[in-house]
Chains A and B, each alone.
Chain A
């Protein structure tokens, strides 16, 4: 019975490490999909001059599974435009659908929400490019850090598990 308990504790500790690694991987995925979607948005704005409502609907259909709920939620929320500003709706959708965003990513995206649809086309395109560059830099950094973070996370959680095993055994 004691051995089973210890095994559970060890497994719990290791799974915490797995969850940590998954979170880091999810961040990479979100960053990749956000960059892709912003790239697409920029192209659509530049070539087709699309209104944001149409653009958001399009993004909700063609984005990857990590960011698609964000655009879908934003599209739904656009019916409140007039009562709530676009920037606020953008912020609400970010909070609700991408809660795992860290501070820097969130601030970068919130800044973009303040510019989209509000200024003339070139200013919006510049804001999109700035946001994309910032997210790209964060992606590169996260990609570099990921192997070490994964090793550290798994190693640390396994060590804690073993330590607990030794102490309690």
Chain B
């Protein structure tokens, strides 16, 4: 099933029909904001999906379907700002409820963004070839939010795996492989092992102990816990392939936790993504010691 078909389950019937008017391979996101017409993100720009303004019930319906009428079970994910539905990431905004300093849910919802995982075979072939030139070394992929990090990471994993590298994927949000009933819905190549659902640090160690990987891949290292996972893997005889939110190397160094892992020379290469949509460009730079 195409990811857009999966995303349509989250929408009201009229919006579902409207989505059918678009090329499913071009849809990057479907965005719903209360009081505003829904939009579709294509080629980096928002396009009107339907004239009917989004109402509160549209968002409640989306959440009800995504959580199987059990919003309370999604609280830990919502605390991170999103929930997943069969591998689709749904970003949610609203009025947060904080109890004893801990996020417990939203009192009301204001907007949602359904992100469609994309697979564009070939977009990172040159990048992957360059990274494999002298044997793969740890690499960090950088781009601003929505810049195509996950798509690039998935493509590089696929190329590495096709080239014969054993790649272990710590896919905590099920966004890379889009696993469904044991099958990866998106192609990650022949030599890939995926753990979904577990925190990156835990999944990485499980892969390391159990699957004898040559490379461990993880998407969006952005918290102290994620950094800990990276540091734990460092010096264990595996290379790391990860992605992070940053416009470029200079932007990355502004944050202490990234500066720390760069100073330790855990990563040897940076892949910086610039531009949007089909105009995206990928620059590979070696990090000098």
Contacts and interface: CB of A to CB of B under 8 A. Distances in A.
Interface in B89-128: 97, 99, 104-107
Nearest to A117: B69
Interface stretch (A10-18, A34-42, A46-54, A65-73): A46-54
B186 to A, nearest CB: 23
Interface in B127-186: none
A28 to B, nearest CB: 30
B268 interface: no
Contacts of A85: 60-61, 64
A116 B97 CA distance: 17
A15 B106 CA distance: 55
Contact of A120 (B60, B65, B75): B75
B contacts with A: majority SS: mixed
Interface in A111-160: 116-124
A81 interface: yes
Contacts, number: 63
Given A119-B105, A120-B105, A49 B73 contact: yes
Contact of B73 (A51, A78, A82): A51
Q: Chain A, interface size: which category?
A: 20 to 34
Contacts of A118: 60, 63-64, 69, 71
A45 interface: yes
A51 B99 CA distance: 21
Nearest to A86: B69
Contacts of A45: 72
A125 to B, nearest CB: 9
Interface in B37-77: 60-61, 63-65, 67-73, 75
Interface of B: 9, 60-61, 63-65, 67-73, 75, 97, 99, 104-107
